[in-house]
Amino acid sequence: MRTDLGSIDRRVLFMKQFGTMEGPRRTTKGNFLHPLSDILFLVISAVVSGADDWGTIVLFGENQLKWPKKYGGYKNGVPSCDTLKRVFWALDTKCFNTCFMDRAKDICEPGAGAVVAVDGKAIRGTKQKKLPHTVSAFAEGNRPTRGQVATDEKSDEITAIPQLLGLLDIGGTTLTIDAMGCQREITEKMIDKGADYLLAVKGNQGSLEEAISDTVRLEVPMDRDVQSDLGHGRIGTGTCWAYDDLSHIGDGEKWAGPRTLARLEAVRIDKKTGKESREQRMYISSLAADAKILNERVRKHWAVENNLHWTLDVLFGEDASRKRKGNAAENFNIVLKTALGLIVRETTLEKGKKNKRMLAAYDYRHREKLLGLS
């Protein structure tokens, strides 16, 4: 493959957001062989192509070296595993995350009315005493992660969510969050930024949960909706009752812009055993009391588990990873979400995520398509 100016320009365009980062290593002392741009381009390209750890990233680079050289750089070959480790240990996570969010904006900006699910996940493979958590904002549709904030513990998600919302353009969207994010300050942040909210309510907001229970027991619902689906060996039915009577919420419960209280009941039947399970959830929302819309948006929130957390664990093997030192776990989590966003954005190839990665490893033309280089 010959190197040409057009190829180099395409790499520069791809790396434009990450190009604002400063490398964590000294460039004037020591054996400085690999610029940060070479390292990041190699790592993202390798992960898109199926690599999940430092060793397989280096193996990809050594076997595909002619391909990244097409886009310039790599005068000293491929960085070693130790170099990759040291860079990702020391890379400034906040700065890397800012670049990642800029990249996510290029991949997709959710339209008005879109659902953005906010949810947390522990990076378990680190085996640290305090597992690092990331709180992510995950858009529906082509499902890119729009941004994230790292925390030391799950309990810190309450403070991380407002930080994340402050970084995002969420005007016109609907934010869905589980019970951890059901806080008055968080509803104020969302309303101030022009977003609607749909928040799960549990025992951490005891008086609000009691108010919804009283509403369900004493008032007539404004609307009702039933939705069914088949999949994963089960039959599922979700029923939503929406209430626009907020009289049972006391004066002390000063939530920002509430319009609806809702009860959802999920019934699942295992097709093999016939066993039935039921789960009930309560919600507060700034949306109108339209049970169909509420039901749909709750279901979209739970797609996070399948389309983000499950994918990171199963397809990318994140929970099996052993990146323990410094900022490595959080920084590599950003790489995985960048790769996932690139993979799901490409829709011309009607293949699953796993097959897209495999094809990218074998065929540089498909790899370039995933990376937006062609």
**Which pLDDT score, from 0 to 100, does residue 2 have?**
47
From first to last of the 374 residues of the chain, give the pLDDT tens digit: 444 556 767 677 666 666 667 767 665 555 678 888 899 999 999 999 999 999 999 999 999 999 999 888 899 999 999 999 999 998 888 888 877 777 666 655 556 678 888 888 776 655 555 666 788 888 776 556 667 777 766 557 788 888 888 888 888 999 999 888 899 999 999 999 999 999 999 988 888 999 999 999 999 999 999 998 876 677 889 999 999 999 999 765 678 999 999 999 999 888 888 898 999 999 999 999 999 999 999 988 877 666 777 777 777 776 656 666 678 888 888 888 888 888 888 888 888 889 999 999 999 999 999 988 87
3-state secondary structure the chain: CCCCHHHHHHHHHHCCCHHHCCCCCCCCCCCCCCCHHHHHHHHHHHHHCCCCCHHHHHHHHHHCCHHHHCCCCCCCCCCCHHHHHHHHHHCCHHHHHHHHHHHHHHHCCCCCCCEEEEEEEECHHHCCCCCCEEEEEEECCCCCEEEEEEECCHHHHHHHHHHHHHHCCCCCCEEEECHHHCCHHHHHHHHHCCCEEEEEECHHHHHHHHHHHHHHHHCCCCEEEEEEEEECCEEEEEEEEEECCCCCCCCCCCCCCCCEEEEEEEEEEECCCCCEEEEEEEEEECCCCCHHHHHHHHHHHHHHHHHHHHHHHHCCCHHHCCCCCCCHHHHHHHHHHHHHHHHHHCCCCCCCHHHHHHHHHHCHHHHHHHHCCC
**Which pLDDT score, from 0 to 100, does residue 206 have?**
86
**Which pLDDT score, from 0 to 100, does residue 268 have?**
87
**Which pLDDT score, from 0 to 100, does residue 58 have?**
96
Q: Where are the domains of the chain?
A: 5-90+326-371, 96-314
Domain 96-314 - what CATH class? alpha beta
Work out the number of other CB atoms within 10 angstroms of the CB of residue 41: 21
**Which pLDDT score, from 0 to 100, does residue 166 have?**
86
**What's the whole-model pTM score?**
0.80
